[in-house]
Structure 1
Amino acid sequence: MLVFVAILLCYSGFSQNPQQEIKEDFKPSSKNQPGQEYPQVNSQGYARFRIVAPAADSVRVSLGLGGQGGTKLEKNEEGVWMGTTAGPMDEGFHYYHVNVDGGTFNDPGAKNYYGSVRWESGIEIPAHDQEFYALKNVSHGSVQQILFSSPSTKTSRRAFVYTPPGYYENRDKNYPVLYLQHGWGEDETAWSNQGHANLIMDNLIAEGKTAPFLIVMTYGMTNEIKWGGLKDFDIKHFQTVLVDELIPYVDENFRTIADEEHRAMAGLSMGGMETKMITLNKPHVFSHYALLSGGTYSPKDLQNHKDLKLVFISCGSKERPDAVKNSVEELKAAGFNTVSYISEGTAHEFQTWRRSLHELAPLLFN
């Protein structure tokens, strides 16, 4: 059941065409700190790094969640280390960090994003379809932090809530809600910071392609699980936080349509695992289920889910697309409204999940 989570930690982010001549049209990554020229990316998807470390003996950049793979940098006479990836990287967002003489550090030129159970540097390879999550001159919703009481964990917990454009102006309208979970090693900031979920929704709503709804994003762990210990994760604790504590808080404090028909749950990778387990354990809480690189359902799994409106299952073309397609065919044959989506040219990474949310949102609550 946890096999797919391991894929998240093994992916290095490289495409399969490392032999082409590198074009010297490098530009700063859109994820750089203000005013920083490096790291840079070119039109082919190569990344180039520059680290100032005159006293260092070895500098290497480790790419991908978990830091697998690596680009060895070379030092010039001024003590500046430079290097370019061996091949082009997949389109979209990637985590990375810098290894200096065996120590792990973030790139001072790049912004930081929470992944690999730490704040990692981030780099963006421009995608051919990046317009769907671009910041545009449209009406924007808002993403706000909430703190809710969690008696089961004896603390207050944090979530972020996306409210669509018009939410605060049209106070007579109530909205459906999507509960959207992050992957292992990430937290409740991931879908906004790395995934651009709010911009995806703003653009879809502006184009008239989706009904407006709220998105709630919270931390999916109730105890800190170390790498290699995911087998010890017990869904019952987070299930209590989500179903018995967070959902009632959201329904009380936001204008929601507080019933099963207008409530959805989705998640990427480990968040997909959580989505599957909770929806199977609590069949009358949600009516729309979505697993994004997060496993599949079988007809037997859903035999008692009589009011189910939608099942959405997706992954990247470099993952296990056949498993997704086969599952959806079986579910359709059994009479379930099921949709599959395969992100072409991507693996277990945020471009897959950005695209998946873009495909999922218009299907929800219709």
Structure 2
Amino acid sequence: MKKKLPLILLVAFMQSAIAFGQQALWGAQDIISPEIHPDNTVTFRVLNPLKAKVQLTGDFLPTGKQTTPFGEVEAPLAVDLVEGANGVWEYTTPQPLASELYSYSLIIDGIKTFDPNNMYLVRDVASLTNIFLIGGGQGDLYKVNEVPHGTVSKRWYNSPTLKMDRRITVYTPAGYETSGKEYPVFYLLHGMGGDEEAWTTLGRATQILDNLIAQGKVQPMIVVMSNGNVVQEAAPGESSLGLYKPQFILPKTMDGTMEESFPDIVNFIDSNYRTIKAKQGRAIAGLSMGGFHSLHISKQYPDMFDYVGLFSAAILPADNNTTKDKVQSPVYADMDGKLRIQFANNPKLYWIAIGKDDFLYKANTEYRSKLDQAGYKYTYVESDGGHIWKNWRIYLTEFVPLLFK
């Protein structure tokens, strides 16, 4: 009996281990959601036997005025799911959806949550949102297609200015490892609350670069996605700070510190990658706060970037609406004088894009008036919609083909 006891215990352990390994299957529901129909209408479903109030909100739905920390903005409204067979509640879009990457959430009894039948999620600050993709057009640029793929790496660099090691995301194009060539570098910056992971997850930058390079529409380039939150070493959960809840507004995000420390990133990239170490081989662009940083970095260092992109950019520190105190930094002093020097150096491209419903539209209009009055040349793109990732992905697909020509 004593000889059999270890075997019995081993069998019991194996059975429990197998059961534990399969526990993720227990919560699965045999429900398809979202289901993309042949005509590109989409049905969302959730099991709701207790008949809670279930709603859906997403960037494909009609918008309305809603209150945010930045004031009243246009944002997607919510629609109701209706009861169907076997306790499954449904909503089907009344019209086909265009080819695009879409995001959505469920609202159950007033609590926003994710679709339990859709495993594809992205994190935006502290929110998890489901995504789905409709191909056959713009959305094909966001797919992983059968084309040569670049490499995405997470690199740590030392910032002497900030006195810490920090993480960046670096994309190198297909063939970089064996080509021996020097490449231009595009610095791509995120918005407030984002980090060095935002453009690869929410922005689909990797897929966009792979696909456009494969189509011959974009020059092979290195893309550097930095963390614009200077108090962070890296994205939440990826640093010595441990597993903490991400916050939307962080200290020192728009006080000049990011701009002052940015040459540390450029120096690291130029020292560790085969780069074109000159103004004509560098571009910088960003969305919202990242557009703000791109504007002020490029004018602070007028010999560093020949290509500048402002995607739905904040223009002045006050645009972020996060503090009542006036920001004091030499970075933002003498804006007219710094712009004069920057444009005297004839940047090859200064590109501004914003949606008609963006809460920063007025600030961008005023900034363009300043450029117009001074006679500075720039390219302006105005789109539908507001302060949303759909616009920023489109802006990226339109901006990168113009670089390094």
Output the TM-score relative to the length of structure 1.
0.74
Find out whether 1:202 has 2:210 as its counterpart: yes
Mapped contact 1:175–1:257 kept (Cα < 8 A):
yes
Find out whether 1:212 has 2:252 as its counterpart: no
CA RMSD of aligned residues (A): 3.7
Mapped contact 2:262–2:297 kept (Cα < 8 A):
no
Residue of structure 1 in register with 2:256 after alignment: 236
Which is helix-richer, 1 or 2?
2
SS in 2 for 1:284: coil
Deviates more, 1:200-209 or 1:86-95: 86-95
Find out whether 1:118 has 2:127 as its counterpart: yes
Residue of structure 1 in register with 2:58 after alignment: 63
Tell me which amino acid in the other structure corresponds to 2:192.
W
SS in 2 for 1:93: strand
Residue of structure 1 in register with 2:339 after alignment: 302
Identity over aligned pairs, percent: 31
Mapped contact 1:93–1:349 kept (Cα < 8 A):
no
Distance 1:127 1:291 in 2: 28
Select which of 129, 133, 148 maps to 1:139: 148
Distance 1:331 1:137 in 2: 43
Residue of structure 2 in register with 1:49 after alignment: 44
SS in 2 for 1:78: helix
For the structure 1 residues 83 and 234, does the alpha-carbon distance in structure 2 shift closer, same or farther, using more than 3 Å as the test?
A: same
Deviates more, 1:108-117 or 1:73-82: 73-82
Distance 1:44 1:156 in 2: 50
Deviates more, 1:194-203 or 1:247-256: 194-203
Deviation at 1:181?
Answer: 1.2
SS in 2 for 1:302: helix
Greater RCO (Cα-Cα under 8 Å, separation 6 or more): 1
For the structure 1 residues 86 and 281, does the alpha-carbon distance in structure 2 shift closer, same or farther, using more than 3 Å as the test?
A: farther
For the structure 1 residues 254 and 232, does the alpha-carbon distance in structure 2 shift closer, same or farther, using more than 3 Å as the test?
A: closer
Deviation at 1:295?
Answer: 4.9
Mapped contact 1:117–1:186 kept (Cα < 8 A):
no
Distance 1:203 1:332 in 2: 35
Mapped contact 1:183–1:267 kept (Cα < 8 A):
yes
For the structure 1 residues 234 and 192, does the alpha-carbon distance in structure 2 shift closer, same or farther, using more than 3 Å as the test?
A: closer
Distance 2:162 2:98 in 1: 39
Considering only CA atoms, is the larger Rg found in Structure 1 or Structure 2? 2
For the structure 1 residues 56 and 147, does the alpha-carbon distance in structure 2 shift closer, same or farther, using more than 3 Å as the test?
A: farther
Mapped contact 1:90–1:346 kept (Cα < 8 A):
no
Residue of structure 2 in register with 1:271 after alignment: 290
Deviation at 1:168?
Answer: 0.9
For the structure 1 residues 38 and 280, does the alpha-carbon distance in structure 2 shift closer, same or farther, using more than 3 Å as the test?
A: same
SS in 1 for 2:176: coil
Distance 1:273 1:44 in 2: 40
Deviation at 1:88?
Answer: 6.7
Structure 1: which 5+ runs fail to align?
Answer: 1-32
For the structure 1 residues 125 and 134, does the alpha-carbon distance in structure 2 shift closer, same or farther, using more than 3 Å as the test?
A: closer
Find out whether 1:187 has 2:192 as its counterpart: no
Residue of structure 2 in register with 1:357 after alignment: 396
Deviation at 1:217?
Answer: 0.8
For the structure 1 residues 56 and 275, does the alpha-carbon distance in structure 2 shift closer, same or farther, using more than 3 Å as the test?
A: farther
Distance 1:94 1:153 in 2: 37
For the structure 1 residues 117 and 237, does the alpha-carbon distance in structure 2 shift closer, same or farther, using more than 3 Å as the test?
A: farther
For the structure 1 residues 86 and 209, does the alpha-carbon distance in structure 2 shift closer, same or farther, using more than 3 Å as the test?
A: closer
Please list the CA deviations of residues 211-251 of structure 1 after superposition, one character each: whole Å capped at 9, or x if unmatched: 22111112222348955x5897434232344322x222212
Deviates more, 1:89-98 or 1:257-266: 89-98
Structure 2: which 5+ runs fail to align?
Answer: 1-27, 61-67, 69-74, 233-245, 317-334
SS in 2 for 1:168: helix
Mapped contact 1:210–1:361 kept (Cα < 8 A):
yes
For the structure 1 residues 353 and 127, does the alpha-carbon distance in structure 2 shift closer, same or farther, using more than 3 Å as the test?
A: farther
Select which of 98, 101, 116 maps to 1:108: 116
Deviates more, 1:107-116 or 1:133-142: 133-142
Distance 2:258 2:363 in 1: 27
Deviation at 1:208?
Answer: 2.9
SS in 1 for 2:179: coil
Select which of 153, 172, 175 maps to 2:183: 175
SS in 2 for 1:124: strand
Mapped contact 1:263–1:287 kept (Cα < 8 A):
yes
For the structure 1 residues 189 and 88, does the alpha-carbon distance in structure 2 shift closer, same or farther, using more than 3 Å as the test?
A: farther
Distance 1:250 1:275 in 2: 17
Mapped contact 2:356–2:385 kept (Cα < 8 A):
yes
Find out whether 1:339 has 2:372 as its counterpart: no
Mapped contact 2:292–2:315 kept (Cα < 8 A):
no
Tell me which amino acid in the other structure corresponds to 1:146.
R
Please list the CA deviations of residues 228-277 of structure 1 after superposition, one character each: whole Å capped at 9, or x if unmatched: x5897434232344322x22221221111223332211011222122123
Please list the CA deviations of residues 164-193 of structure 1 after superposition, one character each: whole Å capped at 9, or x if unmatched: 12211112x111111101223333223223
Residue of structure 2 in register with 1:280 after alignment: 299
For the structure 1 residues 231 and 187, does the alpha-carbon distance in structure 2 shift closer, same or farther, using more than 3 Å as the test?
A: closer
Deviation at 1:357?
Answer: 1.9
SS in 2 for 1:97: strand
Tell me which amino acid in the other structure corresponds to 2:177.
Y
